[in-house]
A and B are shown apart, each in its own frame.
Chain A
């Protein structure tokens, strides 16, 4: 099938529109997750979301609602966990594994299509409905506007908590807002990549972009471009091959860009 012919299909348009919106959020959020040493939370949230989605399927409501409920709830718990990295990551791990267990419980109780669960784990972007596209666009817009609103104090507190606090930056409030926006992004990204592969879109583009620029605005801009490229190319390749899943291509692209950018990272030393 010709590419142009493919682009005429509503399902593909929906997939592209929703993915592009999610990719932008994931790239921005990912930059701060890395800066704040929160990438483990970025891995844990989609797994926690899996339990929510499985529960939603079990109770017969839209999976995305379960995703929102569980990830936002977990984000608020994370925001109040200890500041010490060690304690915090232990807490995150305990919450995550409990939720995975809960997800398994819902699966065992559920007697319907296993396909819906498979979709949560590996993504269902090519089957996204118009209503879901709308929800995705609105939620993405809220996330991006939210991050823009707290951009400067978020960056300041990410770099230097103590100085930011002395300047009057509300550290805990910002941490909570940021984690909730991360939860929203993760919930949306689960549709594209599935909960197992969210990391690839959330952290992959920002990690690669950070090797190219030390300016936050430039690194974030590049991360957005990379994330958009991954999802667009991934969706088109999946549509062309018809059998291979989108998330496979997104994960491969993310890996394929990160590894060389890391290896080729100039030992950038600034010249005196």
Chain B
């Protein structure tokens, strides 16, 4: 089931990786490699380790065992070649900041000093805002735009440093189906045109099916990687969950029955 690629080409690789949090085993013996330029959906029930896996790839957490390589290196925070969109944002009373200022954080928010405005910086900002189709509301404040527009802005923030790997933690949560579609096509377009690897955590794979290359399914301490039609099957999911699971497919959509997803 694991997708073998040339070591040099691998964007993300996990070798015998176990994840334990607070004495609880979240994942054991994860082995997989993701080739460069793939769009991969990470699926699985709550607590299966989807967000935790992203945090390991970002260098926030270390695996209890095994080796993780991201873009050929051991993960560490502050790698500008990784773009990250967290599941929760804590803007609170800073949500009156303008859209373009929030996107600009991705370019030089980590740098010391005040930072002076420059034409080059503005150009870069405008380019990425245009790429996510957000130029039209770049001067609106964060609390004035819709949920889908917010995700596009945060995607622009992640993209502005020209990353090789994008990690998106539930970017579709709390979006209605229309806005979710909008974000999905944007993510897919960005993945193909920029030729970068994208890992996207989601609860519903169906709207993503036309776009994704692979699915990484995490459940019950086990994982499986492969093409959607290979992984989202009654047989594979029953093995993962360790209990009877039925996948019902209708009109090109998959529904998992028998578990809380």
**Number of inter-chain CB pairs below 8 Å:** 103
- Interface majority SS on A: helix, strand, loop or mixed? helix
Interface string of B190-210 (1 = CB under 8 A from A): 000000000000000000000
A150 part of interface (Cβ distance < 8 Å): yes
Query: Smallest CB-CB separation from B109: which chain A residue?
Result: A156
Contact B110 A152 (CB under 8 A): yes
Contact B157 A272 (CB under 8 A): no
Cross-interface CB contact of A214 among B98, B110, B113, cutoff 8 Å: B98
Among the stretches A160-168, A181-189, A234-242, the one at the interface with B is: A160-168
Q: B31: CB under 8 A from chain A? A: no
- A164: chain B residues at CB < 8 Å are 105, 109-110
B114 to A152, Cβ gap below 8 A? yes
Q: How far is the CA of A256 from the CA of B88 in the complex (A)?
A: 38
Task: Determine if B94 and A163 form an interchain contact, defined as CB atoms under 8 angstroms apart.
Answer: no
Interface contact A162-B97, CB-CB below 8 Å: no
Chain B nearest CB: distance from A62 CB in Å? 33
Contact present for A162 and B140 (CB under 8 Å):
no
Complex alpha-carbon distance, A148 and B110, angstroms = 14
Q: Using Cβ atoms and an 8 Å threshold, which residues of chain A touch B115? A: 151-152
Contact B109 A168 (CB under 8 A): no
A163 & B105 in contact (Cβ 8 Å cutoff): yes
Chain B residue nearest to A213 in the complex (CB): B96
| A165→B84 CA distance, assembly (Å) | 10
Q: Are A214 and B102 CB-contacts (below 8 A) given A148-B114, A152-B109?
A: no
- Interface size on B, as a range, is 35 or more
Taken residue by residue from 52 to 82, chain B's Cβ proximity to chain A (1 for < 8 Å, 0 otherwise) reads as 0000001010000000000000000111101
Q: Which of A151, A167, A215 contacts B80 (CB 8 A)?
A: A167
Take A165-B60, A166-B82 as given contacts and tell me if A156 and B110 are in contact as well, using a CB distance cutoff of 8 Å. yes
Judge whether A216 is part of the interface by a CB distance below 8 angstroms.
Answer: yes
Residues of B within 8 A of A168 (CB): 77-80, 110
- Chain A residues positioned under 8 Å from B136 (CB to CB): 272
Q: Which residue of A lies closest to B161 (CB)?
A: A167
A137 lies within 8 A of chain B by Cβ: no
Interface residues of chain B, those whose CB is within 8 Å of chain A, are 58, 60, 77-80, 82, 84-86, 88-94, 96-98, 101-102, 105-106, 108-115, 136-137, 139-141, 144, 154, 157
A–B pairs, 26, beta carbons within 8 Å: A150-B112, A151-B114, A152-B112, A152-B114, A153-B112, A155-B105, A159-B97, A159-B105, A160-B86, A162-B84, A162-B90, A163-B154, A164-B110, A165-B60, A166-B84, A167-B78, A168-B77, A168-B80, A168-B110, A169-B78, A169-B110, A214-B96, A214-B97, A270-B144, A272-B136, A272-B137
